[in-house]
Amino acid sequence: MERIESYKDVNFHKRIGLLIRDRSENKEDIREVASKALGRADARRMLNLGCGYGWFEEAIRGRLDLIVGVDVHGENRNDFLKAARRVSTTSLFVRSKLPAPIDAPSGFFDLIVAIYSLYFFIGMLPEVKRLLAPGGLFLTITHSQAMLQEAEEFFHFRSMRRTIERFSAENGAAVLGEYFPLVSQVDYENCLVFKSGDQNDLKDYVHFKREFITNDADRELVTKRLFDELHRRGVLKFNKNDRIFLARK
């Protein structure tokens, strides 16, 4: 797993989550869409890979026996456990840099999720397959490679593109098909909209992506160019089309 430092600042990460919600054209929460896709899956034991501060757990309805979250950033522990304990009898947080073995028997989990994270540790898929119970579900959400198309009008973000291309909306079904016999998908069409007066939000969004951006371009230069374009056009839109994959063992 790449160690993305902006993910360990829990309060800032939460602010970006709210920013994305507020700037999204699609007002349906993608977590609700994912829950509908799961249907009546009778999950009792869930593993969340790259769990962060518990963003996915915040939206869970119903109750589970166990939720285990794995993340490279120990700073996420308390907030993750707070979110998970609301909907599970037992909740555990494991600090680990993925891909890595998980200390659990084969077939132990009936639901495994990786939300906007699998492209950081694509080598985890053999372990996901081992840990998933027969008939269990692996739910993962990822971006479209087209998410970069508007920004790449001005800069070439090769580093971010290489990361997303490890597991994207475009290749996700083929990647999962190497490990699971049944793979389905649900598209979530969306874009982020920044209007005149939204410069602070745009600056925060660029700052959140800084570790990808600075590998290819100066972050301050990127921010200035986007500010100039926002002033000139009055509105900037960024592709935020995502895809939900469900893989059944």
Give tens-digit pLDDT for 10-45: 999 999 999 999 999 999 999 999 999 998 778 999
**Separation CA 226–CA 246 (nearest Å):** 36
Q: What count of residues does the chain have? A: 249
pLDDT at position 2 is 55
pLDDT at position 212 is 74
- Three-state SS string over 108-133 comes to CEEEEEEECCHHHCHHHHHHHHHHEE
- pLDDT band at residue 3, thresholds of 50, 70 and 90? low
- Tell me, what DSSP letter sits at residue 146? G
**Separation CA 113–CA 57 (nearest Å):** 11
Q: Cβ contacts of residue 58 below 8 Å, gap of 6+?
A: 31, 83
Average pLDDT, the chain: 92
Indicate the pTM of the whole model. 0.93
**Separation CA 64–CA 45 (nearest Å):** 6
Of 148, 168, 150, which Cα lies nearest the Cα of 158?
148
The pLDDT tens digits of the residues spanning 182-214 come to 999 999 999 999 999 999 999 999 888 887 777
- pLDDT band at residue 5, thresholds of 50, 70 and 90? confident
Q: To which residue do tokens 């469900």 refer?
A: 246
The pLDDT tens digits of the residues spanning 35-83 come to 999 987 789 999 999 999 999 999 998 899 999 999 999 999 999 999 9
- pLDDT band at residue 94, thresholds of 50, 70 and 90? very high
Helices within the chain (DSSP H only): 10-23, 30-38, 77-85, 125-131, 158-164, 172-177, 199-208, 210-213, 219-233
Contact 66, 81 (CB under 8 A): no
Position 98 pLDDT exceeds 80: yes
Greatest Cα-to-Cα distance within the chain, rounded to the nearest angstrom: 57
Q: What is the mean pLDDT of residues 144-172?
A: 83
- 146: which 2 tokens? 């087209």
**Separation CA 188–CA 221 (nearest Å):** 31
**Separation CA 138–CA 59 (nearest Å):** 17
Position 6 pLDDT exceeds 80: no
pLDDT at position 157 is 74
Domains of the chain: 5-145+158-191+241-248 (3.40.50.150)
